[in-house]
Homo-oligomer: A and B are copies of this chain.
Amino acid sequence: MNLVYQGKTKDVYALEDGNYLLKFKDDVTGVNGVFDPGANTVGLSMEGAGKAGLRLTKFFFEKLNQMGIPTHFIDADLDQVTMTVKKAAPFGKGLEVICRFRAVGSFLRRYEMYAEDGQALDALVEVTLKDDDRNDPPISKDALDMLGILSKEEYEILKDLTKQIGNIVKDELAKKGLELYDIKFEFGRVGEDHHIALIDEISGGNMRAYRNNTRVEPLELTKIMVQED
């Protein structure tokens, strides 16, 4: 088992059978000790954050797999805090795909001239480049195509999957009285047919969830969403 990549919130190991093992860490993105799913830096370490992230990811990925929505998920080991996944090729050097139900975060900062803070958005999909040095610039369907990162056909698949999965997460949260403001996904090309599949995770670290207008932090979110075993 070879360590092939050390990420901000998880490490990636190559398995001998061609699959990969993701080891979830207790680091979460943020700035100066304050959690922010849109941040590019590890802002703080929270004991149990890795396990909580994995637990919620397992919950959602199993649900998506059952629904026939393509993901890279194979299984998870909560004791080891690891997840086994299929091999996935990123788009270019990696994209982030955001599904927005309310105008907050970077969307609001960019479009404050028009958007009201917290204004409802109808599963608005945005794609940004993973590029810390340039602060993850948003990029259009046409530019993605012209730079050879994602074809126009793939963009439409990606966008449809994002809306679909975003709404599934939103509905699951709503069942527990929570409101999803926005959520960030990663996708990749999986399998011999290079089909587009959801990769990475679905956890409190990648979304903004609110209860009675109060932000629900990642650890709390897992507790609310998934009963302890």
User: How far does the alpha carbon of A146 sit from the alpha carbon of B116 in the complex, in Å?
Assistant: 12
Contact A137–B124 (Cβ < 8 Å): no
- How many of chain A's residues have a CB under 8 angstroms from any CB in B? 30
Contact A112–B134 (Cβ < 8 Å): yes
Contact B125–A110 (Cβ < 8 Å): no
User: How far does the alpha carbon of A134 sit from the alpha carbon of B141 in the complex, in Å?
Assistant: 22
Contact B147–A129 (Cβ < 8 Å): no
Q: Which of B92, B124, B133, B146 contacts A146 (CB 8 A)?
A: B124
For the complex formed by this chain, how many copies does it contain in all? 2
Determine the residue in chain B with the shortest Cβ distance to A129.
Answer: B113
Q: Which of B92, B111, B139 contacts A143 (CB 8 A)?
A: B111
Contact A147–B110 (Cβ < 8 Å): no
User: How far does the alpha carbon of A46 sit from the alpha carbon of B93 in the complex, in Å?
Assistant: 44
Determine the residue in chain B with the shortest Cβ distance to A130.
Answer: B113
Q: How far is the CB of A139 from chain B (nearest CB, A)?
A: 7
A143 contacts which chain B residues (CB < 8 A)?
107, 111, 124, 126
> Does residue A122 face the partner (Cβ distance < 8 Å to B)?
yes
> Does residue A142 face the partner (Cβ distance < 8 Å to B)?
yes
Determine the residue in chain B with the shortest Cβ distance to A134.
Answer: B110
A148 contacts which chain B residues (CB < 8 A)?
114
Q: How far is the CB of A150 from chain B (nearest CB, A)?
A: 11
A114 contacts which chain B residues (CB < 8 A)?
92-93, 129, 147-149
Q: How far is the CB of A10 from chain B (nearest CB, A)?
A: 22
Contact B124–A111 (Cβ < 8 Å): no
> Does residue A42 face the partner (Cβ distance < 8 Å to B)?
no
Q: How far is the CB of A68 from chain B (nearest CB, A)?
A: 26
- Chain A residues with CB under 8 Å of chain B are 92-93, 107, 109-115, 121-122, 124-126, 129, 131, 133-134, 137-143, 146-149
Given contacts A110-B139, A140-B141, 14 further A-B contacts (CB under 8 A): A92-B113, A93-B113, A93-B114, A110-B137, A111-B147, A112-B134, A113-B133, A114-B129, A114-B148, A124-B143, A125-B142, A126-B140, A126-B143, A141-B141
